Amino acid sequence: MATALRIGVVGGSIAGCAAAVAGSRAGADVTVYERSGAELQDRGFGIVIPPPLHRELVGSGYLDARMETAPVATRVWLTREPGGRSTRELARHSSPVTPCNWGLLWRSLRASAGAVRYLRGLPVTSVRETADGRAVITTAGGEETYDLVVGADGHASRTRQLLAPGLSPEPAGYPVWRGAIPLGALAGHPRELELLRGAWVTLGFPGGHGIFYLIPGGGPCHGPGDRLLAYAIYGRPPASWDTDADPGPYVRELAREHFPAAWAEIVARGTHRTTACHPVADVQVPRAARSPLLLAGDAAGVSRPHTASGAVKALQDALCLERVLREGPTVGAALERYADERTAAGAHLLELGRRMGRAQVDETPDWAAMGQGQVDAWFRGVLAGTRHYLYARPAPGG
């Protein structure tokens, strides 16, 4: 079916590049429009994906097997010793993940999209449907008509409005600070470095938590020595906090106040390679496709980053898109199946993200009073009978 299909993709980030790979693998003629004129690979954040998805993407040609990753198999929960500054381990459980460097992931998808027309620095100004069931993309360069338009324009998507007019993200009421620090920040902290070489870490504090894990550095020297420490810290800043200010000083202050001394020192050290403060919000379209339009990645829905699933969802959206296009028999039928599968997946993540946010930010437990059994029981409550890759296996003895 897809042999003569023309696909236009709005947005050339993770979801857009993955959709471009999907379309071209299904035999379509794909054009990607990316607003940014800069190299997206410079966004050097950490992204965690499930190992089976990584294997599937490598096996099916979406990712290069040589793309560096930093897999670990365990999750460790830490907090500050009450009344002191030392670190207390609450729990650990089996949680195999494949941490990636955002830039390397994007670069690998972009390379796999190879022959597609990728138009950088060209914002899409509008998308409209035609009477014969196709869609027109307008840019400063003119108009082009497509059989299918994929909206992959991120959390503030404008193409989302075509499928869900008036729908807007619902703020969670707290932000996340995200960054990456050169490994040198761990100098003098061999215990923490050793821990991070085998595990990803959640550090609980009153009113929030921080996530820490190693990612490939993305520099010229590949291998286990080339690593960055990626972090995401969730909490509620004081009302007086200036959302436009450099987030670095506040992150350091938060760490000084709540983290064990070693972790506060690690955060305080080093030049943070990338630092950003993202407002956390929830949004999910009621239906992710209606021919000739389809939404992918954050454009279709944003779940809270506690789920570590936005990029995962974008990649799964692409795998689904390729499959439904191959199965056909028409674009309309293919998009109906896509909408059935991917809307349900997005809705599940949205709810799980809300529960995680409530448990890990809004109503944080008394971390210091918890041990292995309590953490397991508490998290089983958050999962509420659902499954998620970060909690794929029960804790030892759980």
Tell me the residue nearest to ligand FAD as measured from the CB: 310
Cβ of residue 224: shortest distance to ligand FAD, in angstroms?
A: 20
Q: Which residue has the tokens 């932000």?
A: 175
Q: How many CA atoms lie within 13 A of 188 on its CB side?
A: 8
Cβ of residue 396: shortest distance to ligand FAD, in angstroms?
A: 24
Binning the chain into helix, strand and coil, the percentages to the nearest 5 are 40, 30, 35
Query: What does the alpha-carbon distance between residue 216 and residue 95 come to, in Å, rounded to a whole number?
Result: 19
For residue 173, the SS3 value is strand
CB closer to ligand FAD out of 5 and 124: 124
CB closer to ligand FAD out of 31 and 370: 31
User: In the complex, which residues of this chain contact ligand FAD (CB under 6 A)?
Assistant: 10-16, 33-36, 40, 47-49, 123-124, 152-155, 158, 176, 178, 232, 278, 297-299, 305, 308-312, 314
Cβ of residue 118: shortest distance to ligand FAD, in angstroms?
A: 11
Cβ of residue 52: shortest distance to ligand FAD, in angstroms?
A: 14
Cβ of residue 89: shortest distance to ligand FAD, in angstroms?
A: 22
Q: Which residue has the tokens 């109503």?
A: 363
Cβ of residue 223: shortest distance to ligand FAD, in angstroms?
A: 22
For residue 19, the SS3 value is helix
CB closer to ligand FAD out of 270 and 310: 310
CB closer to ligand FAD out of 101 and 291: 101
Query: What does the alpha-carbon distance between residue 134 and residue 314 come to, in Å, rounded to a whole number?
Result: 23
CB closer to ligand FAD out of 311 and 331: 311
CB closer to ligand FAD out of 177 and 367: 177
Q: DSSP string of 287-317?
A: -SEETTEEE-GGGTEE--GGG--HHHHHHHH
Name the residue among 177, 158, 182, 176 with its Cα closest to residue 168: 158
